[in-house]
Amino acid sequence: MRQFLLRRLLRSIVVLWGISTIVFLVMRLSGDPVMLLLPQDATQEDIARVSHQLGLDQPLHVQYEIFMVSLLRLDFGQSIHFRQPALQVALERVPATLELATAAFL
C-alpha cells in the first residue's frame, strides 16, 4: 500500500511538472503580452520598460525558473485582462464553475 501511494505521489508530481511546463511554453508562444498591456502608439522605451518589469527581457531558461519558483510559492501573477491577481480571478469563478459542473453531471 505504501509503495502504491509513493508511486502515485511521484506520478502526480511528474504530471504537475509536465502541465506547468506546457503552460509556460504555450504562454510564451501565444505572443507578446507587453503589446496587450500597452497602447498601440507606445514608444520603444515603454515597451522595454514593461518587458523588463515582467522579466520578459531575460533568457527563456531564466523566465522558466522564475515561473516555476512563483508556482511553488503559489504566486500566479497578475491577470492581464482583469489587472487583478490571477488566483483571485480564478477563485471568484469557482461557484459558477461548480454550478455548471453540477448541472452537467445531473
Q: Which residue has the cell 464553475?
A: 97
What pLDDT band is residue 50 in, cutting at 50, 70 and 90?
Answer: confident
pLDDT (average), residues 48-66: 90
Q: Residue 18 is part of which domain span? A: 2-75
CA angle (23, 84, 39) in 5-degree steps: 85
- My answer on whether 25 and 48 are in the same domain is yes
Q: For residue 76, what is the DSSP state? A: -
Phi-psi region of 49 (alpha: psi -120 to 50; beta: other; left: phi over 0): alpha
Tell me how crowded residue 5 is: count the other CB atoms within 10 A of its CB: 9
Task: Let me know whether 55 and 101 are in one domain.
Answer: no
Tell me which amino acid residue 37 is: L
62/82 same-domain check: no
Whether this prediction's pTM lies above 0.75 is answered by no
Residues 1-36: tens digit of each pLDDT = 899 999 999 999 999 999 999 999 998 888 788 887
Is the domain of 105 the same as that of 87? yes
Q: What is the domain count for the chain?
A: 2
Q: Report the amino acid identity of residue 3.
A: Q
Pick the closest to residue 60 from 11, 106, 100, 27 (CA basis).
27
